């Protein structure tokens, strides 16, 4: 058997059930009826008393920052909020009110200490907190700017498991009650005060058991502020609803049943407003707060003296028959506890094991059981309402944002078009400085360079020049090699080409004499070329075209002279390639990597900031407090992204294959699946970035920073076989490498899923998806803690 204070009316504020936990009664006061709580005999009774309060916080410690340099925000804080009361939490800015509230709603975890909310510990299975048992209005607006008021209510209503008709009815009430504008107005177009009221309406939406309001009256006019307070008083009247409210308008907190005055991470006092005013003989709560704050600042000795004098002062108070004052040690600075007899009374209750329970306890227990039953769904896997709300939110946000829509669908198309137009084509108009001493430079024929196309051996230099591809090479004529080379040096030409004055005769002699040709003949018959090889691609193309032109020239000559044209070829015959074309294009080599890179990094860009934006706007926390689990948020993004990915894949592949003719020899179905999987992989990588980074800026840096190394190491623009062996191993296991090789094998070789190179690409992508998702979930869970 033990003593417990019960408050059937739920009034009277301070720690009704809590004071029974004292083991050391305080000193008697002269002339004051002092309650002496009886020491508890069962530890279970303490737990029971905590469970029957709306909120009970014990020995709470919380710090931010590292262990070495902690910023202590809560230090050994105790708080008791009785059911059916309004609890006003007051304190200077930065004293830790928001931190305390976020620990109560399960947004943050204490470093040590205990919190009981509505009979359970926040975050534990079946506690319903976070979840629909709590209505939370954070300090920041924490709403979706692109939503209308109605959509906002729908979103949270569905998350709370309400039916659409219920939400609409409740919305009408809240619009009228909070004097809100039309339900079709966008939240971002509302005034600051209106936005705060919408935020308040969200907290009231599902009529929760516990309302936690962080400064709901900021920016609200006095009339509406009064009506908000009246509403709070109204809803707590029947004792089923509890409100914790912080405010900087200290005087409005007079309407609360209990006031907790907080300073430096502790509660200086936890009493009813009237008791505080009377105890400290103050006219306003502000004065009380100043008094207590000063008292806390004094030394321990001074503090003791202050307590003594307070006690003596209190001794002279005449509480009459209505009031009793209990002296306790746990109320902090003054250690006073006030109860009005008409609001609370001491009742004898038994340990639950005996089965004899008094009415007060019975009602709290049955209510507790009821609420726990109510919340059996809270631990369920998910609800369709939540998924519906999250999906609608993701799609609406995308749809309403033109920039995002362009980013999603126009950017990939533009990238493909740019890639196909800009990469892999032969350059044109490359200037070649030509010096032909077979011709007279001043003569027009130098430019025209006529020759006889039959089996005639005159002006062979002109016949060769005629074979050169005119679209790639633009011939510019120079009088001598010095000026031609100078043109190359000064960047006016990519190379200089020189024919000796008796080139034709020497070449004919070379062909006729064969091994008997002398050095001079060989020297005179050579075409000399000086190239600018500083640009490897252009240099190699010029080499290739000049050699091919000579081969064609020789073949043509031999053919017209009825000789075997094969004599002109080097004795290596490249037969028809087994895969690919005999004139392979760089585009075909790069295209698979480009397709996957576009889809992968667009997904990274889309998702890497998604969670951060929601987090910085406070939306993520608010959704969590409403009972949305991290995996549900991820799942909704996966579904949204999947739809986006399908659209992007269709666009990218159609433009690549159908419009620009990139070859696809394999099964298009597998190509599509691998591309979508890579998009999902990029999305999951984006989640990791989003979960790790606190700021959008950091996320962008990380996403951009990862782009280039991935591109370089994935064999997209150069075969990984060219890398040093160690780096090659690392590169092989990057998310894009095996997938690129797989896609290339499907597109250019026409391989199917049975080939190792192909299915390795699929396996590697799926493994990366699982890995990234796991990392994001772990980080999200960790951060939530
Ligand atoms: N995420 C965080 N990381 C580090 N420090 C934080 C964080 N959130 C709050 N703080 C610090 O903790 C202290 C308490 O902040 P808190 O927001 O709880 O105060 P508050 O009493 O709600 O203030 P206000 O009335 O201005 O809202 C402040 O010094 C604040 O700078």
Q: How far is the CA of 117 from the centre of ligand 1 (A)?
A: 22
Locate the ligand 1 atom nearest the alpha carbon of residue 100 and give its number. 18
User: 25 is written with which tokens?
Assistant: 């009664």
Nearest CA residue ID for atom 18, ligand 1: 96
Tell me how many helices (H) and strands (E) the chain has: 28, 18
Any idea which of 215-219, 446-450, 653-657, 776-780 has the lowest mean pLDDT? 446-450
User: 338 is written with which tokens?
Assistant: 């006030």
pLDDT at position 596 over 70 = yes
Average pLDDT over residues 513-519: 87
Alpha-carbon 209 to chain mean position: 32
Instruction: Identify the structural domains of the chain with CATH numbers, from first to last.
Output: 2-133+208-379 (3.40.50.300), 384-420+585-784 (no CATH), 430-568 (3.40.190)
Per cent of the chain over pLDDT 70 is: 81
User: Confidence band (pLDDT; 50, 70, 90) for 22?
Assistant: very low
User: 728 is written with which tokens?
Assistant: 């090659």
**DSSP 8-state assignment for residue 369:** H
Average pLDDT over residues 173-190: 91
Which of the two residues, 240 and 151, has the higher pLDDT score? Answer: 151
Average pLDDT over residues 378-403: 80
- CA 743, CA 741: separation in Å to the nearest integer? 6
Nearest CA residue ID for atom 20, ligand 1: 94
CB of 71 closer than 6 A to ligand 1?
A: yes
Per cent of the chain over pLDDT 90 is: 43
Q: How far is the CA of 133 from the centre of ligand 1 (A)?
A: 25
Q: How far is the CA of 713 from the centre of ligand 1 (A)?
A: 44
Mutational pocket test of ligand 1: of 99, 139, 618, the residue with most ligand atoms within 8 Å of the beta carbon: 99
Nearest CA residue ID for atom 13, ligand 1: 94
- CA 223, CA 175: separation in Å to the nearest integer? 16
Asked if 462 and 451 count as a contact pair (C-beta separation under 8 A), the reply is: yes
> If we measure between CA atoms, which residue out of 734, 704, 737 comes closest to residue 719?
737
Any idea which of 354-368, 473-487, 635-649 has the lowest mean pLDDT? 354-368
Q: How far is the CA of 100 from the centre of ligand 1 (A)?
A: 10
Average pLDDT over residues 528-550: 94
CB of 73 closer than 6 A to ligand 1?
A: yes
CB atoms within 10 A of CB 370: 10
Locate the ligand 1 atom nearest the alpha carbon of residue 65 and give its number. 4
Q: How far is the CA of 269 from the centre of ligand 1 (A)?
A: 21
Average pLDDT over residues 133-151: 90
Which of the two residues, 728 and 385, has the higher pLDDT score? Answer: 728
Q: How far is the CA of 276 from the centre of ligand 1 (A)?
A: 26
Average pLDDT over residues 380-396: 82
Average pLDDT over residues 153-166: 92
Q: How far is CA 382 from CA 127, 203, 377, 529, 610, in A?
A: 15, 21, 8, 74, 22
Asked if 758 and 671 count as a contact pair (C-beta separation under 8 A), the reply is: no
Average pLDDT over residues 559-585: 88
Asked if 309 and 371 count as a contact pair (C-beta separation under 8 A), the reply is: no
Average pLDDT over residues 493-515: 92
> If we measure between CA atoms, which residue out of 440, 444, 445, 432 comes closest to residue 477?
432
- CA 717, CA 18: separation in Å to the nearest integer? 70
Q: Please tell me the predicted confidence (pLDDT) of residue 32.
A: 31
- CA 591, CA 543: separation in Å to the nearest integer? 25
Q: How far is CA 566 from CA 376, 526, 721, 770, in A?
A: 86, 20, 35, 58
Phi first, then psi, for residue 140 (nearest 5°) are: -75, 165
Asked if 410 and 452 count as a contact pair (C-beta separation under 8 A), the reply is: no
Which of the two residues, 525 and 341, has the higher pLDDT score? Answer: 525
Q: Please tell me the predicted confidence (pLDDT) of residue 6.
A: 36
pLDDT at position 744 over 60 = yes
Q: Please tell me the predicted confidence (pLDDT) of residue 748.
A: 92
- CA 635, CA 778: separation in Å to the nearest integer? 14
pLDDT at position 313 over 50 = no
Average pLDDT over residues 726-743: 95
What's the sign of the alpha-carbon dihedral 373, 375, 376, 377?
A: positive
With tokens 């999603």, the residue in question is 408
The set of residues, in sequence order, having a beta carbon less than 8 Å from that of 539 and lying 6+ positions away, is 494, 495, 531, 532, 533
Asked if 257 and 87 count as a contact pair (C-beta separation under 8 A), the reply is: yes
User: 151 is written with which tokens?
Assistant: 């959509």
- Summarize pLDDT for 666-717 with one digit per residue, the tens: 999 999 999 999 999 999 999 999 888 888 889 989 999 999 999 999 999 9
pLDDT at position 16 over 60 = no
- CA 533, CA 530: separation in Å to the nearest integer? 9
User: 201 is written with which tokens?
Assistant: 């309406």
pTM confidence score: 0.70
Average pLDDT over residues 276-282: 87
Mean pLDDT of all residues in the chain? 80
CB of 98 closer than 6 A to ligand 1?
A: yes
Phi first, then psi, for residue 184 (nearest 5°) are: -95, 5
Q: Please tell me the predicted confidence (pLDDT) of residue 606.
A: 85
pLDDT at position 267 over 60 = yes
**DSSP 8-state assignment for residue 410:** I
Helix intervals (H) in 109-221: 149-159, 164-177, 192-204
Any idea which of 82-86, 315-319, 474-478, 571-575 has the lowest mean pLDDT? 315-319
pLDDT at position 153 over 60 = yes
pLDDT at position 375 over 90 = no
User: Confidence band (pLDDT; 50, 70, 90) for 351?
Assistant: very low
pLDDT at position 283 over 90 = no
pLDDT at position 377 over 70 = no
User: Confidence band (pLDDT; 50, 70, 90) for 541?
Assistant: very high
User: 398 is written with which tokens?
Assistant: 């995308």
Average pLDDT over residues 383-390: 87
Any idea which of 46-50, 130-134, 763-767 has the lowest mean pLDDT? 46-50
Mean pLDDT comparison of 1-10, 67-76, 424-433, highest-scoring range: 424-433
- CA 369, CA 383: separation in Å to the nearest integer? 22
Q: Please tell me the predicted confidence (pLDDT) of residue 746.
A: 96
Q: Please tell me the predicted confidence (pLDDT) of residue 728.
A: 95
Q: What is the dihedral of CA 353, 355, 356, 362, to 10 degrees?
A: 100
Locate the ligand 1 atom nearest the alpha carbon of residue 262 and give its number. 21
- Summarize pLDDT for 297-309 with one digit per residue, the tens: 654 444 444 443 3
Mean pLDDT comparison of 18-22, 66-70, 725-729, highest-scoring range: 725-729
Q: How far is CA 81 from CA 257, 313, 318, 729, in A?
A: 10, 28, 27, 60
Q: Please tell me the predicted confidence (pLDDT) of residue 373.
A: 37
Complex prediction ipTM? 0.97
CB of 94 closer than 6 A to ligand 1?
A: yes
pLDDT at position 771 over 90 = yes
pLDDT at position 279 over 60 = yes
CB of 66 closer than 6 A to ligand 1?
A: no
pLDDT at position 17 over 80 = no
- CA 589, CA 268: separation in Å to the nearest integer? 72
User: Confidence band (pLDDT; 50, 70, 90) for 524?
Assistant: very high
Nearest CA residue ID for atom 9, ligand 1: 99
Q: Please tell me the predicted confidence (pLDDT) of residue 175.
A: 92
């Amino acid at each position: 058997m033990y003593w417990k204070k019960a408050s059937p009316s739920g009034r009277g504020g301070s720690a009704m059930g809590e004071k029974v936990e004292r083991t050391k009664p305080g000193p008697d006061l002269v002339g004051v009826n002092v309650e002496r709580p009886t020491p508890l005999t069962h530890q279970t009774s303490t737990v029971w008393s905590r469970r029957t309060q709306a909120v009970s916080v014990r020995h709470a410690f919380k710090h931010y920052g590292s262990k070495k340099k902690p910023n202590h925000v809560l230090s050994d804080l105790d708080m008791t909020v009785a059911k059916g009361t309004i609890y006003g939490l007051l304190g200077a800015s930065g004293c830790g009110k928001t931190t305390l509230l976020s620990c109560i709603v399960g947004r943050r975890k204490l470093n040590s200490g205990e919190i009981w909310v509505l009979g359970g510990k926040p975050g534990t299975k079946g506690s319903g907190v976070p979840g629909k048992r709590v209505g939370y209005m954070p300090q920041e607006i924490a709403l979706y700017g692109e939503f209308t008021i109605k959509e906002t209510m729908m979103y949270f209503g569905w998350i709370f498991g309400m039916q659409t008709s219920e939400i609409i009815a409740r919305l009408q009430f809240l619009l009228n009650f909070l004097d809100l504008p039309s339900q079709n107005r966008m939240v971002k177009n509302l005034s600051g005060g209106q936005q705060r009221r919408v935020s308040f309406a969200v907290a009231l939406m599902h009529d929760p058991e516990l309302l936690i309001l962080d400064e709901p009256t900021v920016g609200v006019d006095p009339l509406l502020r009064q009506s908000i307070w009246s509403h709070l008083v109204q809803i707590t009247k029947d004792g089923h609803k509890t409100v914790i409210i912080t405010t900087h308008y200290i005087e409005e907190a007079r309407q609360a049943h209990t006031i907790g005055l907080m300073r430096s991470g502790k509660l200086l006092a936890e009493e009813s407003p009237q008791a505080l005013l009377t105890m400290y003989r103050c006219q306003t709560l502000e004065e009380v707060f100043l008094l207590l704050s000063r008292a806390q600042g004094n030394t321990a000795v001074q503090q003791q003296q202050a307590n003594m004098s307070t006690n003596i002062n209190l001794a002279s108070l005449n509480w009459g028959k209505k009031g009793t004052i209990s002296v306790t040690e746990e109320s902090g600075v003054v250690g006073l506890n006030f109860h009005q007899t008409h609001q609370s009374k001491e009742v004898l209750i038994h340990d639950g094991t005996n089965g004899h329970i008094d009415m007060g306890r019975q009602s709290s227990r049955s209510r507790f059981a009821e609420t726990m039953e109510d919340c059996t769904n809270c631990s369920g896997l998910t609800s369709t309402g939540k998924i519906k709300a999250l999906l609608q939110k993701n799609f609406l946000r995308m749809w309403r944002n033109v920039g995002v829509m362009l980013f999603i669908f126009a950017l990939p198309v533009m990238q493909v078009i740019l890639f196909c137009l800009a990469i892999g084509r032969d350059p044109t108009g490359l200037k070649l400085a030509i010096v032909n001493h077979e011709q007279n430079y001043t003569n027009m024929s130098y430019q025209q360079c006529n020759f006889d196309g039959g089996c005639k051996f005159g002006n062979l230099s002109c016949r060769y020049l005629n074979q050169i591809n005119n679209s790639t090479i633009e011939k510019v004529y120079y009088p001598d090699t010095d000026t031609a080379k100078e043109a190359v040096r000064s960047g006016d030409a990519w190379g200089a080409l020189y024919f000796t004055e008796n080139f034709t005769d020497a070449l004919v002699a070379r062909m006729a004499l064969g091994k008997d040709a002398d050095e001079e003949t060989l020297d005179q018959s050579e075409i000399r070329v000086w190239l600018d090889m500083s640009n490897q691609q252009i240099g190699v193309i010029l080499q290739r075209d000049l050699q091919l032109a000579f081969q064609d020239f020789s073949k043509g000559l031999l053919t017209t002279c009825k000789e075997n044209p094969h004599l002109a070829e080097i004795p290596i015959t490249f037969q028809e390639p087994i895969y690919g074309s005999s004139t392979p294009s760089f585009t075909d080599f790069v295209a698979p990597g480009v397709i996957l890179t576009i889809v992968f990094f667009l997904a990274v860009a889309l998702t890497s900031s998604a969670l951060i934006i929601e987090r910085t706007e406070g939306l993520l926390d608010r959704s969590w407090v409403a009972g949305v689990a991290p995996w549900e948020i991820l799942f909704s993004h996966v579904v949204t992204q999947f739809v986006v990915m399908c659209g992007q894949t269709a666009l990218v592949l159609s433009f690549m294959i159908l419009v620009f003719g990139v070859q696809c020899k394999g099964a298009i179905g597998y190509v599509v699946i691998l591309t979508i999987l890579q998009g999902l992989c990029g999305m999951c990588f984006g989640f990791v970035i989003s979960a790790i980074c606190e700021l959008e800026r950091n996320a962008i840096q990380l996403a951009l920073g990862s782009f280039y190394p991935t591109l370089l190491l994935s064999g997209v623009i150069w075969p990984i076989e060219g890398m040093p062996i160690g780096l090659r191993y690392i590169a092989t296991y990057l998310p894009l490498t095996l997938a690129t090789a797989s896609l290339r094998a499907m597109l250019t070789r026409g391989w199917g899923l049975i080939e190792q190179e192909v299915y390795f690409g699929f396996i590697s992508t799926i493994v990366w998806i699982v890995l990234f998702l796991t990392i994001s979930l772990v980080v999200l869970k960790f951060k939530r803690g």
